[in-house]
Amino acid sequence: MFSAVRTQHKGVDICINNAGLARPEPLLSGHTSGWKDMLNVNVLAVSICTREAYQSMRERSVDDGHIINISSMSGYRVVAQSDVHFYSATKFAITALTEGLRQELREANTHIRATCICPGLVETGFAFKLHDNDPVKAAETYEHIQCLKPEDVAEAVIFVLSTPPHVQIGDIQIMPTEQVT
């Protein structure tokens, strides 16, 4: 993917990592394959894309780039729902990786910024993938409150990208007004 971006656009100045995969795999009875899938998508792929984006910026002397990780409120709290405990662990990892990235960017004496945007419940197909064997349960996820829309998250990205170069937005937590946790 990054080779194609290099060929078509010369490189990456802004990287928005928006990986998210949840499987109903509890800690006490989950399948290793489901845990690996979540780690591969939610943690490893984000880390690889981040590294490649930074290398692209460095190769072209881009000193004002931005790496934005779209994570989840699950990276800040653990809900009492065993099916998503491992997923939460992967999102906690993104919170830590984003802060580690910010520190490494400072150590590298660059002005490239790193931000973590953590939405709460967004009305997407996410619950239908998590509960792919129970579409009724998936649909109920979005019925009890007015959820965020993908456009709400996009507005947060636009806000982060519109800040002056001397402003570092580390984290944004965004959730529906009616969401309890």
C-alpha to C-alpha distance for 33 and 41, rounded to whole angstroms: 12
Q: Which domains does the chain have, with CATH numbers?
A: 1-174 (3.40.50.720)
Q: What sign does the dihedral 125-178-26-99 (CA atoms) show? A: positive
Q: What is the arrangement of strands in the sheet containing 113-119, beginning at the earlier edge strand? A: 14-17, 66-70, 113-119, 171-174
pLDDT at 135: 83
40 φψ region: left (φ > 0), alpha (ψ -120 to 50), beta (else): alpha
The residue to which tokens 């979540």 are assigned: 38
Catalytic residue list contains 142: no
What residues contact 31, with CB distance under 8 A and at least 6 apart? 25
Report whether 69 contacts 41 (CB < 8 A). no
- Which of 54, 76, 87, 142 is an active site residue? 87
Query: pTM for the complete prediction?
Result: 0.93
Query: In Å, how far are 3, 93, 160, 167, 178 from 38, measured between CA atoms?
Result: 25, 11, 27, 32, 28
pLDDT in tens for each of the 181 residues of the chain?
Answer: 888 888 888 999 999 999 899 999 999 999 999 999 999 999 999 999 999 999 999 999 999 999 999 999 999 999 999 999 999 999 999 999 999 999 999 999 999 999 999 999 998 888 888 888 888 888 888 888 999 999 999 999 999 999 999 999 999 999 999 998 7
Beta strands in the chain (DSSP E): 14-17, 66-70, 113-119, 171-174
